[in-house]
A and B are shown apart, each in its own frame.
Chain A
Amino acid sequence: MKVAVCVKQIPDPADPGEIDPNTKTLKRDTKLILDESDSYGVEMALQLVGDDGEVVLVSMVPNNERNGLNNALAMGAHSALLVSDDALSGTDALGTAKVLAAAIKRIGADLVLAATESSDGYTGTVPEQVAELLGLPSVTFAKEVSVDGGNVAVKRQTEDGYDEVTCPLPALVSVTAGVVEPRYPSFKGIMAAKSKPVEELGLADLGIDAASVGWAGGGQEIVSIEPAPAREAGEIIEDEGDGHERIVAFLQELKVI
């Protein structure tokens, strides 16, 4: 079985950075890392293919960045297809989906895995857009995934619990955080990652018109960016062994107790 995993390289969420006043999009000029959300898809893929399958990473960036990809390769993914093109700067969710779909089509996969949303843009629409562009069925928000013959069985998160969904392959599944426990790359894995094949392509290689992606291709315009109304500063006290008493008094004032 061949599984394609969509992975995103993002700025470290511990240092969320700032908005570029010219492009009005998030500055992504710092070193990028593998989105933690995507480590679940990578792990899931590795477990599903076992010893005789193949896990291929698919990712896009405007600037050749590979740091996050290397991390996923070190976990055990076999190869990667990186779409890198200056014209991708500022690409929105639908544009991203177009690029990923073209890349996945080129690879050919029995199953496509993605996270439910990225940790920097968190639109949460890319997996479903990719599935539609590829003409694939999809099951989103998976909390459990298994493959049996030509079908994938998924426990899909719902508001009240979960649905059991089955779907014939090829298909796309988006996985929630916690679907599996991602492994840490071993030293051996990190060394092996250095020699794994990473194919790097531009938009032209995939037959994508640069005008259909990037910020200009997005069909939307950021009108303004403003500070949100701030909450008023509250009372901050140091616990000297009596912090709980202040909380009790506060809860009484609020008539919670």
Chain B
Amino acid sequence: MGTIWVHAETNNGAVSTITLELLAKARELGDVVAVHAGGDAEQVAAELGEHGASKILSTGDLDGGLPGPALGSALADLAASEAPQAILFGTTYGGRDVAGRLSAKLDAPVITNIVDIVDSDGLVGIEPVFGGTTNVNTKFTGSKPGIFLVRPKSFNAEPTGGSPAEVGALTVPELGATGSAKVVSQFVEESDGPKLDEAGVVVSGGRGLGEADKYQMIEDLAKKLGGAAGASRAIVDAGWVPYSYQVGQTGKVVKPDVYIAAGISGATQHMVGMKGSKTIIAINKDPEAPIFSIADLGIIGDVHKVLPALLAALGE
């Protein structure tokens, strides 16, 4: 078995969930080394070790610099001597940046949007397309490390009780102009209730709501069920709700116990982000809406009638 590098994303000593998910897969495929940009490598070494990483190689604090060029360049240099079999990234804001920079540096392609990796005479990435009805299985043909971008929630994060990862340094080469973007300040948007990608219940609204004001019904229902409110890309693009509400290919991938889609027809874009939900309830007036093909319970009806009645029935 070869060596698998996993991009470890952390925030002040907290390891992101997707990193732990990637580690769970990587340790099945080979010896795992976490690669990291940030000042908290020592703090996360124990947790990464518990999840299967034998080492963490870190650039250290980037002093406001973005991880893309710094980590991308450092990894490109190291890959030349270490030749890992594969480098796994989560499909996150940071993961895509580093993978893109690294790909261009190495002149090596990225296999994107995958939900599984299997070892079959080389690593094969499995990418669902057409709203998850079809899987495209792709492998690398060259001798360069395989760069994979993996969708969140593809694997179950689970500690195995390994000892703390050994901490080592990653050298960032001189970046020139590419390293000149700097983070000046960071803002955390507080929201009450569970986070969209962690909630047990997600209620999402789409264009079928008709107008922005009607989205309040989605918020109300989510609140009554102790869940989070989400949205289709159509109404995010229309400006009804912020981008952070978006469920789908471009937005968040969710896998709640219960997903309620109200006034959402089920564009591929959207289905990819919620198809893994345990139970799906759909309300839509169009009986031909694709969302019904994946719904456990489908109500063919007008959201403007069904939702108010549902809210009233659920009472306080």
List chain A positions with a Cβ less than 8 A from chain B. Answer: 13, 16, 19, 24, 36-37, 92-94, 97, 116-117, 119, 122-129, 131-133, 135-141, 143, 156-168, 171, 176-178, 181, 218-228, 230-231, 233-239, 241, 243-248, 250-251, 254, 256-257
Q: Check A161–B184 contact: CB distance below 8 A.
A: no
Given contacts A129-B100, A220-B111, contact A243 B301 (CB under 8 A): yes
Question: How far in angstroms is the closest Cβ of chain A from B57?
Answer: 21
Q: Check A36–B139 contact: CB distance below 8 A.
A: no
Q: Check A137–B181 contact: CB distance below 8 A.
A: yes
A157 to B305 Cα, complex, angstroms: 36
Q: Check B137–A239 contact: CB distance below 8 A.
A: no
Stretch with Cβ within 8 A of A (4 or more), from B40-48, B161-169, B185-193, B204-212: B185-193
Q: Check B135–A225 contact: CB distance below 8 A.
A: yes
Question: How extensive is the interface on chain B, given as a class?
Answer: 35 or more
Q: How does the 8 Å CB contact mask read for B232-254 relative to A, with 1 for contact and 0 for none? A: 01001101001110000110000
Given contacts A132-B101, A178-B243, contact A236 B314 (CB under 8 A): no
A124 to B58 Cα, complex, angstroms: 25
Q: Check B243–A128 contact: CB distance below 8 A.
A: no
Q: Check A162–B189 contact: CB distance below 8 A.
A: yes
Interface of A, secondary structure class, is mixed
A151 to B143 Cα, complex, angstroms: 40
**B81 contacts the other chain (Cβ, under 8 Å)?**
no
Q: Check B183–A165 contact: CB distance below 8 A.
A: yes
Question: How far in angstroms is the closest Cβ of chain B from A135?
Answer: 6
Question: How far in angstroms is the closest Cβ of chain A from B292?
Answer: 6
> B294: nearest residue on chain A (CB-CB)?
A231
- Point out the residues of chain A lying under 8 angstroms from B236, CB to CB: 177-178
> A245: nearest residue on chain B (CB-CB)?
B313
Q: Please give me the 7 A-B residue pairs with the lowest Cβ-Cβ distance, nearest first.
A: A239-B301, A128-B100, A132-B104, A167-B181, A236-B298, A244-B309, A161-B189
A136 to B101 Cα, complex, angstroms: 11
A157 to B189 Cα, complex, angstroms: 11
**Residue among A24, A158, A159, A163 facing the most chain B CB atoms (10 A cut-off):** A159
